[in-house]
Amino acid sequence: MAEPLTSSEPERTSVVSEQRLVVENKYGEKLVGVLHSTGSKEVVVLCHGFRSTKEDKVMTNLVAALTTNGISAFHFDFSGNGESEGVFEFGNYRKEAEDLHAVVVYLSKIHEIGAILGHSKGGNVVLLYASMYHDVGTVINVSGRFALDRGIKERLGEDFMLRIKRDGYIDVMNKTGTLDFRVTEESLLDRLNINMHEACLSIDNRCRVLTVHGSSDEVIPVEDAFEIAKLIRNHKLHIVEGANHCYTEHQEELASAVLDFMKTIQGKDSSSLAQV
């Protein structure tokens, strides 16, 4: 278990310690993550996207930006992904929110949770988390999807509902022709039954939310960011002009948007909601 850190305010520093942590979720599965400690009181928890890991470039670049600016960061693999235990599932947004809850509870023993941040599917997870648990005061959604019924046929084919009703599952193959992952009817319905409109309205108005989205996102249209912005009361929207879904040529602007938002809440109580 991590040692308690000092309660000094974050300041620019190059001294960062790394510690591999294992957190057990409510299903007994071990979630593997890395804590990058600067000695700050607060920690930002980062959540990766679909079929990704904690080592995704968006995650590691944001960790580097945060720690360079004196903010501790923790990034981890959701169950069924990366080094974590469990079976990969197509939907399981709520389960990933529960994974995040296990991480928040664990880290809250030694830190204040400065923010939870998620990219792509991880963006949906942090928004869902904020609608379910009112214990984190700052949420950063990077390129999350508003309309979860979209983007499925691009992965599964036009006739995905017919095939999954007929067979009970769809096998998704990779470029080499081998099995990449299986989509069950249950996991598909888990995604389709999530109402992001309702989730956004359920976020506490004391919770500060930032949405960052690329104007040239080829996976999730930028219009989704505007829909989210309409519904969350305490919200800031930052559009990165020309950026694609993974911010390939816009990593610095993404990091700047996140850091600027974090700086605006410094001096305020970022954990003003009830603690776990």
Query: Helix 93-107 to helix 185-192 angle, to the nearest 10 degrees?
Result: 70
Nearest CA-CA partner of 241 in 211, 209, 210, 213: 213
Which of 111, 172, 146 has its CA nearest to residue 232? 146
What tens digit of pLDDT does each residue of 92-109 get?
999 999 999 999 999 999
pLDDT at 215: 99
Whether residue 271 has pLDDT greater than 70:
no
Instruction: Retrieve residue 97's tokens.
Output: 């929110």
86 has pLDDT over 70: yes
Closest CA to 57 of 206, 254, 258, 225: 254
SS3 of 161-202: HHHHHHHCEEEEECCCCCEEEEEEHHHHHHHHCCCHHHHHHC
Helices (H), ranges, the chain = 57-68, 93-107, 121-132, 152-156, 160-167, 185-192, 196-201, 223-231, 251-265
**Does residue 214 register a pLDDT over 70?**
yes
- Can you read off the two tokens belonging to residue 26? 């409510």
Tens of pLDDT, residue by residue over 139-189, are: 999 999 999 999 898 889 889 999 999 999 999 998 898 998 999 999 999
Classify 17-146+206-265 by CATH class: alpha beta
Give the integer Cα–Cα distance in Å for 7 and 27: 33
The arithmetic mean of pLDDT across residues 37-43, rounded, is 96
Q: What is the rounded CA–CA span in Å between residue 130 and residue 59?
A: 20
What residue ranges of the chain are covered by domains with CATH 3.40.50.1820? 17-146+206-265
Average pLDDT over residues 37-48: 97
